[in-house]
Structure 1
Amino acid sequence: MSMLESGCQKPRRQAASGCLGVLRLPSLFCALMRTPPQPPRGPTPPRGPASSQRGPAAAKPAAPKAAPRRPPRRLPAWLARAQRLLLSPGQEWQAIAAEFATPSSIYSRYILPMAAIGPIAATAGTIVFGVRNSIAGSYAMSAGDAVTSGVLEYGLNLLGVYGFAVLIEVLAPSFGGQRNRAQALKVAAYSSTPYWLGGAVALFPKLSLIGGVLSLYSIRLLALGLPPLMKAPRDKSAAYTLLASIAGVILALIIGPLTGVVVGR
């Protein structure tokens, strides 16, 4: 190789190496500009509760709850029993027969409030209208005498129902029944329900006789109550009811005039 050729080759090599350097610059620049690798992510933290929306898309507030309804008032136990005796006497007599009761509990739970209806009504009616009605007719009565008569009538009612129970008990063996004072008092007390409720009519003296008519339903209750409570056979219960009813009517007729005698009428 001649000197000329070797001199010509050097510039070529230098030019080639310069071209390669120029070509490597963009790749080096790109390498420098690359994003460094991100560190590994840890566990994603739990998200909190979603914030409530605001504006027109927000949920509407719940409608206010209606005020709870008050439960209906219940009747007193003695008045509820009187109602059941009038509306469903057969079922109520069966329930009464199965109940354990003593004479004192029968008096305190039923007889004491029921026996007071008639005397209270008669006393109030006499004070307002100044007149008292009886089987013998109407007569004027002062307020003081009306109160005295009412108290006396109430006491006689309490004694009369016990006397009625004694008669029912005494008559029981004659009609195949069983003697039982507590059961007899149940019959006397609960069968007298129409008689005692009818006494409320005495609040108006001129309507007092209507109360006497209403009290006749007591005979029906007596007929239904004697067989299950006094264990009287069905075939003898009619005669048993008849005699017991007569005894009850006699006691009722005694109570009325007796109060008039004590008051001085």
Structure 2
Amino acid sequence: MEKQMSAENPPVFDPGLADRVKGILLRPKYEWPIIAAEQATVKSLFRRYAMILAAIGPVATVVSGLVSDDDGIFTVLLYGVVSYGLNLLAAYILGIVIDGVAHNFGSEKNIVQSMKLAVYAMTPFWVLGILNLIPGDAPAVISLLVGIYGAYLVYCGLGPLKLTPPDKQLVFTIVLVIVWGLLTAVVVGLIMAVFMAFSVIGEGAMAFAID
């Protein structure tokens, strides 16, 4: 009975979170088959993994912004919240896309396995979000390198998770990397648009107050 209750009511924070992150980053070829065999739901993937790791970058950005105090507390907090939400949305859309085009590459159509691939492949991006604490262009340069590793993670995961034939894994990976890049561009564009909009509103309000 105790085991059954434990399975039906899992802890909010997965005690194996650090091990999973380490496995994905350091030994993906070993970790993907383990992930493929695990029972999960789309909700559990986001609640117990994505929502935790995706917060790293926005929190680092907010802390950095509050320390520099260049844009005001409200703008910095809004930027963090918007970037957090859009990054989670991008991961979800990527999972939908993976599942939607799976049959075109001889792969299994399974939304949970697709979401596993999308969510866990985002791990290096989310973990390296801690670099947002560092001012300057270093995070952007490192993000490019992380993007290459992210593509490798997707390539390694297609076989175990989507049962993609070996001869179609590379093409499928290229397609997903392109979609991933477009989603990233949209997310960055939306974040910057929100940031600029509130900056303009703030400047307008200040000018009005002065007048």
Partner of 2:173: 241
Partner of 2:44: 105
Percent of residue pairs identical: 34
Partner of 1:23: none
Separation in 1 of the partners of 2:120 and 2:38? 13
> 1:201 aligned to 2:131?
yes
Separation in 1 of the partners of 2:142 and 2:76? 19
Separation in 1 of the partners of 2:61 and 2:188? 11
Partner of 1:250: 182
Separation in 1 of the partners of 2:35 and 2:164? 16
Of residues 146, 161, 170, the one that matches 1:215 is 146
2:113 alignment partner, SS class = helix
Partner of 1:124: 63
Partner of 1:230: 162
Instruction: Report the Cα offset of residue 205 of structure 1.
Output: 2.3
Gaps of 5+ in 2: 1-13, 200-211
On the 8 A contact 1:196/1:215 being kept in 2, the answer is: no
Instruction: Report the Cα offset of residue 120 of structure 1.
Output: 0.6
Partner of 1:191: 121
Separation in 2 of the partners of 1:167 and 1:197? 23
Separation in 1 of the partners of 2:140 and 2:129? 10
Separation in 2 of the partners of 1:249 and 1:195? 13
Separation in 2 of the partners of 1:220 and 1:234? 14
**Pairing of 1:24-173 with structure 2 (within 5 A):** 76-130=15-69, 140-173=70-103
Separation in 1 of the partners of 2:68 and 2:19? 31
Instruction: Report the Cα offset of residue 76 of structure 1.
Output: 4.4
Separation in 2 of the partners of 1:128 and 1:179? 46
Separation in 2 of the partners of 1:188 and 1:240? 13
- Higher RCO, 1 vs 2 (CA within 8 Å, ≥6 residues apart): 2
Which amino acid in 2 is paired with 1:105?
A: S
Separation in 2 of the partners of 1:223 and 1:129? 39
On the 8 A contact 1:126/1:205 being kept in 2, the answer is: no
Partner of 2:107: 177
2:150 alignment partner, SS class = helix
Partner of 1:9: none
2:46 alignment partner, SS class = helix
Separation in 2 of the partners of 1:228 and 1:253? 29
Q: Which of structures 1 and 2 has the bigger CA Rg?
A: 1
**What TM-score, normalized by structure 1, do the two folds share?**
0.66
Q: Which has the higher helix share?
A: 2
Separation in 2 of the partners of 1:114 and 1:224? 21
**What TM-score, normalized by structure 2, do the two folds share?**
0.82
Partner of 2:207: none
Gaps of 5+ in 1: 1-74, 131-139
Render the CA deviation track for 1:147-176: whole Å, top value 9, x for unaligned.
101001111111111100011111110110
